[in-house]
Amino acid sequence: MAPMVRTRPNILVTGTPGTGKTSLCHELSERSGFRHINVGELIHERHLYSERDEAFECLILDEDKVLDEMEEILEQGGQIIDFHSCDFFPERYFDLVIVLQTSNTILYDRLMARNYNEKKLQENIQCEIMQVVLQEAMESYPTEIVQALNNETVDCMEQNLQRILQWITLYSQQATT
Ligand code: ADP
Ligand code: MN
C-alpha cells in the first residue's frame, strides 16, 4: 500500500507506563492543535479488548479492532497517538515516533504512586531497564523517524515539547512546498 500523503503529521508517543506519555501528549495537543488520542482509554471506551489478564490487572487488546477504529482517524493527519506499545501499528501510520524514557528510580516512584501491584511494578521497571519499547519501535519503524527522549523532569518535558513543536513546523513547511 502506498504511503499516506498528509499535510499534518501523525505522531506516536510511546514508552513504558509512567514515562509521561499522557502528560506530554496533553500539553503537545494544547500547543499544536493536534488531537490527542489515548489508545488505552479508547480501548476501554469502545471495548476493543478480548479478555482480561488477572495477574496484570489489565485488558488484552484486540489489535484488529483497535486498528479498525484508528485507520480513518489517522488518515486525516494531525493526530498524537499515546500508547505504551507500538509494534502492531502499521509503519505508514506515523511520521514521527517518540519513545519517552526515565531512570528506573523515578519510574518506580511514579508507578508506586499509581498503586501498581508488585508484579506489574517489577514488569514495568524491567521493561524500562531493558529498553523494550525503544527496541520495539526500532524494529517496527524506519530508524530515522524514531527518537528516544529523556522525560524525567518538568524541564525535560518542556525541552521535549519544544523539540517536537519545531519538528512539526518543519514538517508543515515541507508539506506545503
Ligand atoms: P504515562 O501516560 O506514560 O503512563 P503519565 O503522563 O500519566 O505517564 O505520567 C505518570 C506520572 O508522572 C504522573 O504523575 C505525571 O504527573 C508524572 N510526570 C509525567 N511526566 C513528568 C515529567 N516530565 N516530570 C515530572 N513528572 C512527570
Ligand atoms: Mn498514560
CB of residue 160 inside a 6 A radius of ligand 1: no
Q: Is the ipTM of this complex over 0.90?
A: yes
Instruction: Identify the pLDDT of residue 174.
Output: 87
Quote the CA–CA distance of 175 and 95 in Å, as a whole number: 12
Measured in Å, residue 174 CA sits from the centre of ligand 2 at 31
Question: What is the pLDDT confidence band of residue 2, given thresholds at 50, 70 and 90?
Answer: very low
Q: Best mutation site among 21, 23, 108 for ligand 1, i.e. most ligand atoms within 8 A of its Cβ?
A: 23
How do 49-53 and 58-61 pair as beta strands?
Answer: antiparallel
Q: Exposure of 70 by Cβ count < 10 A (0-12 exposed, 13-18 middle, 19+ buried)?
A: buried
Of all atoms in ligand 1, which is nearest to the CA of residue 84? 3
**Residue pLDDT, tens place only, 107-142:** 999 999 999 999 999 999 999 999 999 999 999 999
Q: 68: Cβ–Cβ under 8 A, 6 or more apart, which residues? A: none
pTM, full prediction: 0.94
CB-based contact 52:59 (threshold 8 Å): yes
Instruction: Identify the pLDDT of residue 75.
Output: 92
Q: Beta-carbon neighbour count of residue 2 at 10 Å?
A: 5
**Residue pLDDT, tens place only, 133-165:** 999 999 999 999 999 999 999 999 999 999 999
Question: How many CA atoms lie within 13 Å of 24's alpha carbon, on the beta-carbon side?
Answer: 35
Of all atoms in ligand 1, which is nearest to the CA of residue 17? 4
Instruction: Identify the pLDDT of residue 52.
Output: 74
**Residue pLDDT, tens place only, 26-38:** 999 999 999 999 9
Residue type, 156: C
If you search the block for the grid coordinates 517536537, which residue do you land on?
164
CA 128 distance to own-chain centroid:
14
Helices 118-129 and 104-113 pack at an angle, to 10 degrees, of 150
Instruction: Identify the pLDDT of residue 6.
Output: 87
Phi–psi pair at 50, nearest 5 degrees = -105, -35
Quote the CA–CA distance of 44 and 41 in Å, as a whole number: 5
**Residue pLDDT, tens place only, 79-105:** 999 999 999 899 999 999 999 999 999
Please give the grid coordinates belonging to residue 67. Answer: 486498528
